[in-house]
Amino acid sequence: MSFLSSVPCAMADGDFYKLPDLPYDYGALEPSIDATTMQLHHDKHHATYVKKLNDALKEKKPRATNLADLQAEAMKLGSTVRNNGGGAYNHALFWRMMAPVGKGGEPSEALQKAINAVWGSKEGFQEAFSKAATAVFGSGWAWLIVKKGGLEITTTPNQDNNLMISGSGIPILGIDVWEHAYYLKYNNRRPDYVKEWWKVVNWSEVNNNYENYALKGIPVPA
């Protein structure tokens, strides 16, 4: 299945944004993430964010014509746009940030150098990131962001992301730690989910996010 990017605010059917297809089959990330969770997560949760965002934007007048740029306006446009606009954007990135086991590659030389500068090694980064993701209280996300040329690990509640706050950084890797992302397989064992998630990280996509967008100060498109 091909990944469809967000579309401009002038679709023939009146919607602002379109639910993207998954870039792989529902079961492609097993055993790390099961097919049922992927189907529900994409077809129900992500689809609902997109629908509610489209409904809300029929009354709002955003300046942005793409989902990435909308994030900077989301808080000003009210909680419905903030929550569902963030959910639509975060998940659009999330699917592409994962790939079947053994297909995700490794950090590029440039990204690995940046990781080493902060955490000493890829393993040191993964340990710090996993700790942050596991410690998120309730529902939210953990992110690797680019801020002023360097890398940082941050977390956001609910469906927020760093693009919503000016100068807060550009996300290049993120993990969804809402219960709907893992509960069917892992129940309350979030640390187990986070550990298995590393096996399906799509480093090729993260490299692209880092080198072609974030280092240039451009939000990663959805």
- Per-residue tens of pLDDT for the chain, all 222 residues: 323 333 333 343 568 899 999 999 999 999 999 999 999 999 999 999 999 999 999 988 899 989 999 999 999 999 999 999 999 999 999 999 999 999 999 999 999 999 999 999 999 999 999 999 999 999 999 999 999 879 999 999 999 999 999 989 999 999 999 999 999 999 999 999 999 999 999 999 999 999 999 999 999 999
Cβ pair 123, 113 in contact under 8 A: no
Q: Show the DSSP H helices in the chain as ranges.
A: 35-40, 47-57, 67-74, 79-96, 109-119, 122-135, 183-186, 190-197, 203-208
**Domain 109-216 CATH assignment equals 3.55.40.20:** yes
Long-range pairs for 154-161 at CB < 8 Å and ≥24 separation? 158/83, 158/86, 159/49, 159/82, 159/83, 159/84, 159/85, 159/86, 159/87, 159/90, 160/82, 160/86, 161/71, 161/86, 161/89, 161/90
Binding residues for Mn(2+): 41, 91, 176, 180
Q: Which residues does the annotation place in the binding site?
A: 41, 91, 176, 180
